[in-house]
């Protein structure tokens, strides 16, 4: 039961900091005003404060420092997270262009990779399918040594894979912040599943100790924020909150013995929805980062679903997939992910065609 202490600590700290953040955000204009902010995905009707990433970041960092061990990897995570929160808060005020935010995401990922966090291997599902036992694909064969926050070997393929993974998850989690409480619920389940996966490993493993602490304080901070973000929201996470929580999920998945497959399965719905949206935007020759109201949550709203129902739907799906992720082996996770991909893509195609047909009929 000792694991409840860091979770409750970060929950309480974040819950104390959020009301302070609300007052400061309103005072200094870090708000989302639907009358002046013409983003097509906006669903709220009144002005609400943003900058939700600030209390979440503080709660996670303080919790990690209190219950964890300060080393070069934790320093890298703190620094990388700070970059994302800072840029996210600036965007909450001034609406930065997408390219500047992407550069910040890459910078944060590079800091983490430079601190020694990378993906050295991934499971080889082909070998398992062919009955050749458990095998892995090594990503750490080509490397060179640098001195950043301590001596560290830059592993070309592994670190490029980690860089892509971090930036991708940050953006996909950001895409999932469509309705009140949706994104924090997804992150909460994912972090708790990652924590549960660490219980299978030796407590003497420093990486597992670090990811256990990070996932717990991250879950606690997310829950503390969710109290104020569930419908009707009193504060929005903003890019600062969604960027940092996506960053935290991505890093924890890497640290937890390359549990990328686990995180993929738990967050399958928002991740698949994000990829689907990007391809749709590219096919229509628009920027993949240009916001629209084509995400799954917006399609469900067009069907008449309320914000609470949508948020709880995502929560329930993540819980089911998280339970599967904890009980399945690597190959089974891969098959489950393929099934989920087929189901979600099929549902998205059906929703898009059905809603477009209804819209066309109404215009006649």
SS (H, E, C) 106-171: HHHHHHHHHCCCCCCEEECHHHHHCCCCCCEEECCCCEEEEECCCEEEEEHHHHHHHHHHHHHHHH
Residue 315 lies in a domain: no
Whether residue 103 lies inside any domain: the answer is yes
Number of domains the chain is built from: 1
Q: What angle do CA 50, 277, 180 make, to 5 degrees?
A: 30
Query: What digits encode the pLDDT tens for the residues 57-71?
Result: 999 999 999 998 899
**Cα–Cα distance, 56 to 21 (Å, whole number):** 10
120-124, 171-175, 294-298, 314-318: least confident range = 120-124
Q: What is the pLDDT of residue 182?
A: 95
Residue 351 has what pLDDT?
A: 81
Q: What is the pLDDT of residue 349?
A: 85
Q: Report the 10 Å Cβ neighbour count for 236.
A: 26
Task: Tell me if 354 is assigned to some domain.
Answer: no
- Average the pLDDT over 89-114 and give the result: 92
Cα distance from N-terminal residue to C-terminal residue, the chain: 62
**In-domain check, residue 344:** no
The residues facing 155 across adjacent strands are 143
Distance set, CA 26 to CA 36, 48, 86, 265, 325 (Å)? 15, 8, 18, 38, 41
pTM for the model: 0.88
Mean pLDDT computed over 39-49: 69
Task: Using DSSP bridges, classify how beta strands 48-49 and 121-123 pair: parallel, antiparallel or unpaired.
Answer: unpaired
Task: Give the model's pLDDT for residue 162.
Answer: 87
CB 362 within 8 A of CB 290: no
- pLDDT per position as a tens digit, 268-305: 999 898 888 888 888 877 777 666 667 888 888 888 89
Tokens 């100790």 -> residue: 209
In a domain? residue 359: no
Average pLDDT, the chain: 84
Predicted local confidence at residue 296, as pLDDT = 87
Q: How confident is the model at residue 128 (pLDDT cuts 50, 70, 90)?
A: very low
Find the domain containing 200 and state its range. Answer: 4-259
Residue 8 pLDDT grade (very low, low, confident, very high; cuts 50, 70, 90):
very high
Contact yes or no for 108/84 (Cβ under 8 A): yes
Rounded percentage of the chain residues whose pLDDT exceeds 90: 46
Q: What is the three-class DSSP state of 64?
A: helix
Q: Place 82 in a pLDDT band, splitting at 50, 70 and 90.
A: very high
E-assigned strand segments in the chain: 31-32, 48-49, 121-123, 136-138, 143-147, 151-155
Alpha-carbon gap, residue 19 to 228, rounded angstroms: 9
Tell whether 277 is covered by a domain. Answer: no
Of all residues in the chain, the percent with pLDDT exceeding 70 is 79
The stretch 212-238 carries a mean pLDDT of: 95
Q: Higher pLDDT residue, 340 or 79?
A: 79
Rounded to an integer, the average pLDDT of 210-225 is 96
pLDDT of residue 336: 87
More confident residue, 12 or 304: 12
Tokens 């996506």 belong to residue: 246
Instruction: Give the whole-angstrom CA distance, residue 263 versus residue 251.
Output: 11
Report the C-alpha dihedral over residues 320, 321, 324, 326, rounded to 10 degrees: -110
Q: Residue 363: pLDDT above 70?
A: no
| 3-state helix vs strand vs coil in the chain, percent to 5 | 70, 5, 25
Residue 197 placed within a domain: yes
Q: For residue 25, is it within any domain?
A: yes
Report the chain's C-alpha Rg in angstroms. 20
The predicted model gives 41-63 an average pLDDT of: 87
Please tell me the distance from the alpha carbon of residue 214 to that of residue 272, in angstroms, as a whole number.
25
Question: Quick check: bond before 232 cis, omega within 30?
Answer: yes
């Amino acid at each position: 039961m000792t694991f409840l202490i860091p979770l409750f600590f970060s929950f309480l700290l974040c819950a104390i900091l959020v009301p302070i953040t609300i007052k400061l955000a309103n005072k200094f204009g870090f708000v989302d005003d639907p009358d002046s902010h013409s983003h097509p995905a906006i669903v709220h009707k009144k002005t609400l404060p943003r900058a939700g990433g600030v209390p979440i970041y503080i709660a996670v960092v303080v919790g990690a420092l209190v219950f964890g061990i300060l080393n070069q990897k934790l320093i890298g995570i703190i620094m990388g997270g700070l970059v994302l929160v800072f840029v996210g808060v600036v965007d909450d005020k001034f609406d930065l262009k997408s390219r500047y935010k992407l550069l910040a995401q890459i910078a944060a990922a590079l800091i983490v990779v430079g601190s020694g966090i990378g993906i050295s291997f991934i499971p080889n599902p082909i070998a398992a399918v062919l009955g050749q036992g458990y095998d892995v694909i090594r990503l750490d064969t080509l490397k060179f040594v640098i001195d950043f926050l301590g001596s560290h070997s830059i592993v070309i393929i592994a670190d490029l894979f980690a860089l892509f993974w971090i930036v991708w998850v940050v953006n996909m989690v950001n895409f999932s912040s469509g309705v009140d409480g949706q994104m924090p619920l997804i992150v909460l389940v994912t972090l708790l599943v990652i924590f549960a996966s660490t219980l299978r490993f030796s407590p003497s493993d420093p990486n597992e100790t670090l990811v256990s602490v990070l996932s717990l304080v991250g879950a606690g901070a997310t829950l503390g924020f969710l109290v104020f973000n569930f419908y009707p929201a009193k504060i929005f996470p903003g890019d600062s909150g969604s960027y940092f929580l996506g960053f935290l999920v991505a890093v924890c998945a890497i640290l937890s013995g390359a549990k990328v497959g686990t995180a993929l399965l738990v967050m399958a719905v928002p991740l698949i929805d994000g990829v689907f949206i990007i391809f749709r935007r590219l096919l229509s020759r628009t920027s993949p980062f240009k916001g629209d109201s084509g995400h799954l949550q917006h399609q469900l709203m067009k069907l008449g679903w309320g914000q609470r129902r949508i948020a709880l739907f995502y929560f329930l799906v993540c819980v089911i997939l998280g339970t599967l992720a904890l009980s399945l082996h690597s190959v089974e996770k891969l098959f489950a992910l393929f099934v989920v991909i087929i189901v979600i893509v099929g549902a998205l195609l059906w929703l898009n065609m059905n809603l477009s047909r209804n819209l066309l009929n109404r215009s006649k």
